[in-house]
Amino acid sequence: MPRQADPTTRDRILRTSTRLFYREGVQAVGMARIIDEAGCGKNALYRHFPSKSDLVTAYLDEFAIARDEAASAALDGVDDPAQALITLTRQIAADASHRSFRGCAIRNYLRETPPADDTAARRARTCVRRWRRRIDHLVGELGVADPKTLADRIWLIHEGLYADGRRSATVAVDLVEELITSAKKVG
């Protein structure tokens, strides 16, 4: 009788790789280590994820989904674009303040890997562009005189939070509030 596959294997592999990739970086973690720490065989790993790129893509997708869901939940019921921008900044600042925070998994991946055009890299760049478009859209709804500059500044603050938010979380939220207030006065 053929052995039945364990339905939890894929999730266990993905949880293990997520923990290792986020903590140590995608480049630092090999497939053999994931097999060892996930407690699965090589065949099981490659049945679910035919290549490391496939596993990395799944890891990045999981992060992007969680990030998008958190942002949507935070913005639920927020109709004012200024308040939405402040809420997004506050949410990123709160995430960045946790001791276990090691940056945005997607941005970390893009920084640590050489420029590539594989599925994981394309997916990561698409996420970052989508998140930037959200900022651009919200700033555009403010009706300020120079929306591009304001969006660039808010984006830069968000990038700074992802890079080292523990030291600057409160300052970042205050700065976004000040930038929006100043831009509204000019516009």
- In order, the DSSP letters of the chain are -PPPPPTTHHHHHHHHHHHHHHHH-TTT--HHHHHHHHT--HHHHHHH-SSHHHHHHHHHHHHHHHHHHHHHHHHTT---HHHHHHHHHHHHHHHHTSTT----HHHHHHHHS----SHHHHHHHHHHHHHHHHHHHHHHHHT-S-HHHHHHHHHHHHHHHHHHTTTTHHHHHHHHHHHHHHHHHH-
Q: Give the pLDDT confidence of 51-99 residue by residue, as tens digits.
A: 999 999 999 999 999 999 999 999 999 999 999 999 999 999 999 998 8
Q: Model confidence at 186, in pLDDT bands (50, 70, 90)?
A: confident
For range 161-167, the mean pLDDT: 84
Closest C-alpha among 176, 142, 134, 139 to residue 156: 176
CATH superfamily of 53-186: Tetracycline Repressor, domain 2 (1.10.357.10)
Closest C-alpha among 46, 37, 40, 43 to residue 18: 37
Instruction: Say whether 53-186 and 1-50 share the same fold.
Output: no
Output the pLDDT for position 7.
72
Output the pLDDT for position 177.
96
Q: Model confidence at 187, in pLDDT bands (50, 70, 90)?
A: low
CATH topology of domain 1-50: Arc Repressor Mutant, subunit A (1.10.10)
Q: Is the confidence at residue 176, as pLDDT, over 70?
A: yes
Q: Model confidence at 163, in pLDDT bands (50, 70, 90)?
A: confident
Q: Is the confidence at residue 110, as pLDDT, over 80?
A: yes
pTM of the model: 0.88
Q: Model confidence at 5, in pLDDT bands (50, 70, 90)?
A: low
Output the pLDDT for position 183.
94
> What residue segments make up the domains of the chain, in order of their start?
1-50, 53-186
Place of tokens 């065949």: 43
Cβ within 8 Å of residue 137, ≥6 positions away? none
